[in-house]
């Protein structure tokens, strides 16, 4: 069964504008409808695994028209986005009852999903920018959804930096259009291969790295993330940390660098430097935090560093004409970590939301001894913490192990050492969460705390099961070939991307 690609964008986009019409009375209907959308998108995403498809919008053939491209990398990202979206939407059913204007929230949520699906499917660089703006605008509004002091401040900060990033990206697109005369990624890639990089295109690449780096919150572009992600409602934090920074930042960066511009040694080193900086700075800033969600947000920076590191090692090996298998190993580590991080980080944010909803606070010092009061939250949080810290047999362990093996293979022993040390510091900070939230003495005012049952629990248990089972993505042979390998192959093939898209005459 083949799913028409525009459905991934059209369904959430249309429903997003239908939902506000339900108003306050039809809230239950609107919630059910939104959940149906996210779950059916998840089904679509699962059904689209392993397919390669080019869809021309309105039957205008490229380069005249706009095309949507589904390949290994896109379908991997689609899967991650829609898994997290479905879980976060289930979680929102009850969690968002504490806010007013729930239908507006659902509508913005679906807009964000539509934007992200559009970004990963788009084969046209300006179209990518438009979808990126849809997703970004929805996320700015969602960060400030509570309309409280901190939320507005965080939203403004996020919005200023996000808008600057968007302007950079648009400027780079204009430069590319001026130099190559086309906006289709495959044709841009072909033009660059024919003419080589000139000063304008190199500048465009630098602008892209700054713009997408800002969207991905890599150090030194990370300043907005620790404010924006904790301020949003918990399911939105899960979406932002879980998939938004990946779809808008890392995916776009990887696509532009590997498939459009082609890798070079300099780019490889820039990626490795950004990755190592993000890993180390993020994790050390995280250890000192006393706000549950803020701590998690800093870990997002650090974990994104792993992904970028894997991509950087892969790019460096490819640029030096090294062994493709080694490059593929490094990129596999990065991509696998990306998916894993989507799952365990969104789970962690959902558990933090559950704790916050039950207790009314997320300051670690005010919590404690909740292990008995919130048994399920505790269990799922432990699973996610073990995953992020890289404890076997959870998924984080496998991707980190692949990254360590890949960096040793490539001859970067110090990178392997950094990876392991950062992982240890991560473990320490999550032991801190366990110690201050779930163990220790129960404060007097939290005696009445009750576990959140129902849909919130289903969402958390679903993600926790995924954390446990995702190790099989690399261990079970068939799954690896059908899900992860195609994504890696898209990146290692590099500039062949254009040859695959442009129809042969």
Partner 1 sequence: MPYALCFLLFMLGLYCAVVKKNMVKIVIGILIMEYAVNLFLVMLGFRVGGIAPIIDRAQYDPVIQQVAAGFVNNSVDPLPQALVLTSIVISLGSLALMISICIRTYEKYGTFDITQIRRLKG
Q: Which residues of this chain interact with partner 1, rule CB under 8 A?
A: 126, 130, 133, 137, 140-141, 144, 147-150, 152-157, 159-160, 163-164, 166-167, 170-171, 174, 177-178, 183, 226-227, 231, 285, 288-289, 291, 294
Give the residue with the Cβ less far from partner 1, 14 or 160. Answer: 160
SS (H, E, C) 207-254: HHHHHHHHHHCCCCCCCCHHHHHHHCCHHHHHHHHHHHHHHHHHHHHH
- The tokens describing 331, both together, are 């990129």
Give the residue with the Cβ less far from partner 1, 132 or 348. Answer: 132
Beta-bridged to residue 408, according to DSSP, are none
Beta-bridged to residue 184, according to DSSP, are 124
Give the residue with the Cβ less far from partner 1, 131 or 326. Answer: 131
The dihedral through the CA atoms of 23, 27, 33, 35 has a sign that is positive
> Which secondary-structure segment (H or E) carries 171?
helix 149-180
3-state class percentages of the chain: helix first, strand second, coil last, to nearest 5: 80, 5, 20
Taking the C-alpha atoms of 412, 415, 421 and 424 in order, what is their torsion angle to the nearest 10 degrees?
-100
**Minimum distance between the CB of residue 310 and partner 1, rounded to whole angstroms?**
29
Give the residue with the Cβ less far from partner 1, 32 or 167. Answer: 167
Tokens 């129960």 appear where? Answer: 442
**Minimum distance between the CB of residue 360 and partner 1, rounded to whole angstroms?**
18
**Minimum distance between the CB of residue 159 and partner 1, rounded to whole angstroms?**
6
Give the residue with the Cβ less far from partner 1, 75 or 289. Answer: 289
Give the residue with the Cβ less far from partner 1, 60 or 414. Answer: 60
**Minimum distance between the CB of residue 288 and partner 1, rounded to whole angstroms?**
8
**Minimum distance between the CB of residue 68 and partner 1, rounded to whole angstroms?**
17
Listed in sequence order, the residues at least 6 apart from 38 whose beta carbon sits closer than 8 Å to its beta carbon are: 12, 82, 85, 86, 89, 110, 113
Say how far apart CA 487 and CA 405 lie, in whole Å: 19
**Minimum distance between the CB of residue 182 and partner 1, rounded to whole angstroms?**
9
Beta-bridged to residue 363, according to DSSP, are 291
**Minimum distance between the CB of residue 173 and partner 1, rounded to whole angstroms?**
8
Give the residue with the Cβ less far from partner 1, 50 or 178. Answer: 178
Q: Give the N- to C-terminal CA distance of the chain in Å, as an integer.
A: 28
């Amino acid at each position: 069964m083949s799913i028409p690609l525009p459905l991934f964008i059209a369904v959430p986009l249309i429903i997003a504008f239908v939902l506000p019409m339900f108003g306050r009375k039809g809230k239950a209907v609107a919630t059910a409808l939104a959940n149906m959308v996210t779950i059916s998108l998840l089904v679509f995403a699962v059904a689209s695994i392993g397919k390669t498809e080019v869809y021309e919008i309105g039957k205008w053939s490229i380069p005249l028209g706009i095309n949507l491209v589904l390949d290994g990398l896109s379908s991997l990202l689609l899967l991650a986005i829609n898994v997290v979206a479905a879980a976060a939407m289930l979680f929102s059913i009850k969690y968002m009852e504490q806010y007013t204007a729930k239908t507006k929230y659902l509508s913005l949520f679906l807009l964000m999903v539509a934007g992200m699906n559009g970004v990963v499917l788009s084969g046209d660089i300006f179209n990518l920018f438009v979808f990126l703006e849809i997703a970004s605008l929805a996320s700015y509004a969602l960060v400030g959804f509570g309309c409280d002091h901190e939320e507005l401040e965080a939203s403004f900060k996020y919005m200023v930096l996000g808008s600057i990033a968007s302007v950079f990206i648009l400027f780079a697109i204009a430069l590319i259009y001026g130099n190559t005369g086309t906006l289709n990624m495959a044709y841009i890639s072909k033009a660059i291969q024919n003419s080589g990089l000139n000063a304008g295109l190199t500048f465009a690449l630098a602008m892209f790295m700054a713009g997408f780096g800002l969207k991905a919150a890599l150090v030194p572009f990370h300043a907005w993330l620790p404010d924006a992600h904790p301020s949003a409602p918990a399911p939105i934090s899960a979406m932002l940390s879980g998939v938004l920074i990946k779809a808008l930042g890392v995916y776009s960066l990887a696509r532009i660098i590997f498939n459009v511009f082609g890798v070079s040694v300099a780019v490889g080193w820039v990626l490795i430097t950004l990755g190592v900086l993000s890993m180390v700075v993020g994790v050390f800033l995280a250890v000192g935090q006393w706000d549950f969600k803020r701590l998690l947000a800093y870990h997002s920076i650090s974990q994104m560093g792993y992904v970028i590191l894997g991509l950087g090692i892969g790019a460096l090996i490819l640029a030096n004409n090294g062994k493709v298998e080694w490059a593929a190993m490094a990129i596999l580590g990065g991509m696998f970590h990306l998916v894993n991080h989507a799952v365990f980080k969104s789970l962690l944010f959902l558990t933090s939301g559950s704790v916050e909803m039950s207790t009314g606070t997320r300051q670690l010092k005010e919590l404690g001894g909740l292990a008995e009061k919130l048994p399920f939250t505790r269990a799922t949080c432990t699973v996610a913490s073990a995953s992020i810290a890289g404890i076997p047999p959870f998924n984080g362990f496998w991707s980190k192990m692949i990254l360590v093996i890949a960096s040793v293979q490539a001859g970067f022993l110090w990178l392997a050492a950094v990876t392991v040390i950062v992982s240890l510091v991560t473990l320490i900070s999550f032991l801190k969460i366990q110690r201050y939230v779930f163990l220790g003495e129960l404060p007097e005012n939290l005696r009445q705390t009750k576990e959140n049952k129902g849909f919130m629990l289903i969402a958390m248990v679903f993600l926790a099961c995924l954390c446990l089972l995702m190790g099989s993505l690399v261990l079970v042979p068939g799954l690896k070939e059908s899900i992860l390998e195609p994504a890696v192959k898209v990146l290692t093939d590099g500039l062949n991307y254009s040859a695959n898209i442009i129809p042969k005459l």
